[in-house]
């Protein structure tokens, strides 16, 4: 793996994190965005990430920060931690990331393009069809989709042998996992290169050996979120009480609604729309055991919040309000 230039397509919650982490680890990073307006939404995310990295490093530089629960594995190893050097890497990352709306210019010289756009199959296909003529022969292409399979898009990329999935968890500087999943046409060489790239940006690379919607993390996380959301959609309880039931009852750090606010409600809406289409999710046998999720009720709630501009933590309000 000899990647130097990385292009992240999309500056949302995860797209901006992937870009910042890649730049922190020394890669030349460009974020491709659809419009000038997208730039005004992405830059504040980068500002926030810079502070988040600085705050994390300040904590890591204390005795308390060395505790496993506080240590950010994506930033440094405990044994070789150099506070000043890590601050410098954070500053360099912040200054070096380029925002570009010209697709051809953004993709020029790219070794790796990471698609990190909304979970909308039609929109992704349109993006890949537009992207394909702008890629150089050497460029490897990955999707950060959390629920959609890479085989769904391979034929639209113009390079199915160099196309696969690379999915990250949220807060990647601390929850530093990267799931790598190929599709039938992916060459082993590029699967191995993406494993190497994930390790190079201080992720723990997790190979997924068979295509699975939801990969590893979201195969477990999405049903959990839907179960919590279903309680609200059916009027059983409110978000705060549902979250407390989970947090206090299990010792987990966050409940489903806190997590959905972090993920972003537009992404949650896209996941709900995709999840309700999963064939056999509630087959006749399962229906005898449990009622199906109230997807209609969930979408009504999400549409109302989104229309009101309550998109989650990034906009200071979602299911909760943030200072």
> Do 163 and 142 form a contact (C-beta atoms < 8 A)?
yes
- Tell me the three state secondary structure of residue 42: helix
Average per-residue pLDDT for the chain: 92
For the stretch 122-150, pLDDT in tens is 999 999 999 999 999 999 999 998 778 99
In the chain, the domains with their CATH numbers are: 5-208 (3.40.50.720), 220-315 (1.10.1040.10)
Q: What's the pLDDT at 222?
A: 87
> Do 198 and 22 form a contact (C-beta atoms < 8 A)?
no
Q: Give me the phi and psi of 240, to 5 degrees please.
A: -65, -45
- Ordered strands of the 28-32 beta sheet: 98-100, 28-32, 5-9, 112-115, 140-143, 163-168, 177-181, 204-208
For the stretch 80-92, pLDDT in tens is 999 999 999 999 9
Q: What's the pLDDT at 282?
A: 47
The 10 Å Cβ neighbour count of residue 305 is 20
Region at 211 (left for phi over 0; alpha for psi -120 to 50; beta for the rest): beta
Q: What's the pLDDT at 289?
A: 43
Residue 291 pLDDT grade (very low, low, confident, very high; cuts 50, 70, 90):
low
First to last CA, the chain: 42
Q: What's the pLDDT at 160?
A: 97
Q: What's the pLDDT at 150?
A: 95
Average pLDDT (82-106) is 97
**pTM, two decimal places:** 0.80
pLDDT at 245 over 80: yes
Average pLDDT (206-220) is 89
Q: What's the pLDDT at 146?
A: 79
């Amino acid at each position: 793996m000899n990647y130097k230039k990385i292009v992240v397509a999309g500056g949302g919650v995860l797209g901006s994190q992937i870009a910042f982490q890649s730049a922190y680890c020394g890669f030349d990073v460009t974020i491709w965005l659809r419009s000038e307006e997208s730039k005004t939404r992405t830059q504040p995310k980068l500002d926030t990430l810079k502070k988040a990295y600085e705050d994390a490093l300040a904590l890591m530089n204390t005795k308390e920060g060395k505790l496993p629960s506080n240590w950010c594995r994506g930033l440094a190893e405990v044994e070789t931690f150099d506070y000043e050097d890590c601050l410098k890497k954070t500053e360099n990352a912040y200054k070096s990331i380029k925002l570009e709306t010209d697709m051809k210019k953004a993709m020029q010289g790219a070794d790796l393009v990471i698609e990190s756009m909304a979970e909308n199959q039609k929109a992704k296909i349109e993006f890949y069809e537009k992207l394909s003529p702008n890629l150089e022969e050497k460029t490897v292409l990955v999707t950060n989709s959390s629920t959609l399979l890479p085989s769904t898009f391979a034929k639209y990329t113009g390079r199915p042998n160099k196309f696969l999935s690379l999915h990250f968890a949220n807060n990647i500087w601390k929850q530093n996992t990267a799931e790598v999943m190929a599709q039938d046409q992916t060459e082993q060489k590029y699967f191995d290169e993406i494993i190497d790239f994930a390790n190079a940006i201080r992720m723990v690379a997790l190979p997924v050996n068979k295509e699975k919607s939801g990969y590893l993390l979201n195969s477990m996380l999405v049903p959990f979120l839907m179960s919590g959301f279903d309680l609200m959609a059916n009027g059983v309880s409110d978000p705060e009480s549902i979250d407390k039931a989970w947090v206090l009852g299990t010792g987990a750090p966050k409940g489903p609604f806190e997590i959905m606010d972090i993920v972003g409600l537009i992404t949650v809406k896209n996941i709900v729309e995709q999840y309700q289409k999963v064939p056999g999710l509630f087959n006749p046998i399962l229906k005898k055991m449990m009622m199906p999720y109230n997807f209609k009720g969930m979408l009504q709630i999400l549409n109302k919040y989104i229309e009101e501009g309550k998109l989650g933590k990034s906009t200071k309000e979602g299911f909760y309000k943030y200072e």
